[in-house]
A and B are shown apart, each in its own frame.
Chain A
């Protein structure tokens, strides 16, 4: 049974501690309400860039955990980033992949390969330290404490249904430049 993405995000919000978070696509509106803090920066306006944005943060700040909330269509757009992340080997990066099988934000068209694309194998093949698939929220809750301590980079493929909101139905939120400015201010001060 696929979990609701909001449930997955709620579980992550409860367990994250002071981790920096990088939502994108349909995780962005949900994350805004679940974690209305200034320790997050969304990948908005450059589809596929979430994992790279997270990688830059993780390399700059090895003292902080960085959690990426990627879309399956987004990751396919910049699939080579798996190898780039693996090569840079940030110990503090956890790459959550919200696998809903579709481009939900642009109208729920099926992604190339549909639900059959195996991101766990792809991440392992690229050289991630570990990669797991998790299909229900109880298991996610149970494993989160160790996933968030484990040496990265790791990929966690979350099998989800569709989110209640998308960036198209729920516009608004802070513009990317302001999010960048805000998080930079926070990081420089700490």
Chain B
């Protein structure tokens, strides 16, 4: 059975992930220009709202709320060129809303965009692909269609997928996603 993941655990994992990213950027020769560790580009995801609430108090992670997920993808490309670490925090509906930009920016533009996608309304006792809700059901098949690697965060142990998929995005120079199975605690 999937379990909720506490917000502080997700935030600490993101911080570690960005620290590691900054270290490898420094190795590439990027000069540090900011005090923060990285950016969270968000169109608020109901499913990860405890994370967003906790991020309000974080000084080292800068949250930029965007009007659309399309914007978040394009902003990410600018941050990438400027040598800044970032993650996109959206929900499945936001993925559906922004597929053209995901394709144009992350895939065609070869920008390593790491997505955290909330599976709002996902039933605890069902595989997402068997969900009653189309929003839940089509998320993984859509990512498969676009060849976007993805993993599901089904409990606290799975936060290891955050750095793993972040690194994967960098390595393949393209999109990679983790899906937040249950509402964060």
Interface residues of A (CB under 8 A from B): 41, 43-46, 48-50, 52-63, 78, 80-81, 83-84, 87-88, 175-177, 180-181, 183-184, 187-189
Residue of B nearest to A44 (CB): B104
**B75→A41 contact, CB < 8 A:** no
Q: A80-B71, A184-B82 are in contact. List 10 more A-B contacts (CB 8 A).
A: A46-B103, A46-B105, A49-B105, A53-B75, A56-B78, A78-B70, A176-B109, A187-B82, A188-B29, A188-B83
Dominant SS among interface residues on chain A: helix
Residue of A nearest to B68 (CB): A80
| 16 sampled A-B residue pairs with Cβ under 8 A | A44-B104, A45-B105, A48-B70, A49-B73, A53-B74, A54-B78, A60-B84, A61-B82, A78-B68, A80-B66, A84-B64, A84-B66, A87-B65, A180-B77, A184-B80, A188-B83
**A46→B64 contact, CB < 8 A:** no
A60: contacting residue among B65, B78, B109, CB under 8 A: B78
B67: contacting residue among A59, A84, A188, CB under 8 A: A84
Residue of B nearest to A80 (CB): B67
- List the 9 closest pairs (A to B, CB-CB), nearest first: A56-B78, A60-B82, A80-B67, A46-B104, A52-B74, A49-B74, A45-B104, A57-B78, A56-B75
Closest Cβ of chain A to B76, distance in Å, is: 6
Complex Cα distance, B167 from A35, in Å, reads 35
Q: Tell whether A187 pairs with B81 under 8 Å between CB atoms, given A43-B74, A78-B70, A80-B71.
A: yes
**A59→B84 contact, CB < 8 A:** yes
**A184→B108 contact, CB < 8 A:** no
**A177→B110 contact, CB < 8 A:** yes
Give chain A residues whose Cβ lies under 8 Å from the Cβ of B74: 43, 46, 49-50, 52-53, 55-56
**B82→A56 contact, CB < 8 A:** yes
Give chain B residues whose Cβ lies under 8 Å from the Cβ of A50: 74
User: Chain B interface: which size bin?
Assistant: 20 to 34
**A57→B104 contact, CB < 8 A:** no
Closest Cβ of chain A to B4, distance in Å, is: 30
**A55→B78 contact, CB < 8 A:** yes
Give chain B residues whose Cβ lies under 8 Å from the Cβ of A53: 74-75, 77-78
Give chain B residues whose Cβ lies under 8 Å from the Cβ of A52: 66, 70-75, 78
Complex Cα distance, B24 from A100, in Å, reads 45
Closest Cβ of chain A to B127, distance in Å, is: 32
Complex Cα distance, B86 from A57, in Å, reads 13
Give chain A residues whose Cβ lies under 8 Å from the Cβ of B110: 177, 180-181
Give chain B residues whose Cβ lies under 8 Å from the Cβ of A78: 67-68, 70-71
Residue of A nearest to B75 (CB): A56
Closest Cβ of chain A to B128, distance in Å, is: 27
Give chain B residues whose Cβ lies under 8 Å from the Cβ of A63: 33
**A180→B71 contact, CB < 8 A:** no
Complex Cα distance, B48 from A3, in Å, reads 49
Count chain B CB atoms within 10 A of each CB in A49, A80, A175 and give the residue with the most: A49
A88: contacting residue among B64, B81, B111, CB under 8 A: B64
**A56→B77 contact, CB < 8 A:** yes
| B28 located at the interface, meaning its Cβ lies under 8 Å from any Cβ of chain A in the complex | yes
A180: contacting residue among B29, B64, B73, B109, CB under 8 A: B109
Give chain B residues whose Cβ lies under 8 Å from the Cβ of A48: 70
Give chain A residues whose Cβ lies under 8 Å from the Cβ of B29: 188-189
Give the residues from 58 to 101 in chain B that come closer than 8 angstroms, CB to CB, to chain A.
Answer: 64-68, 70-84, 100-101
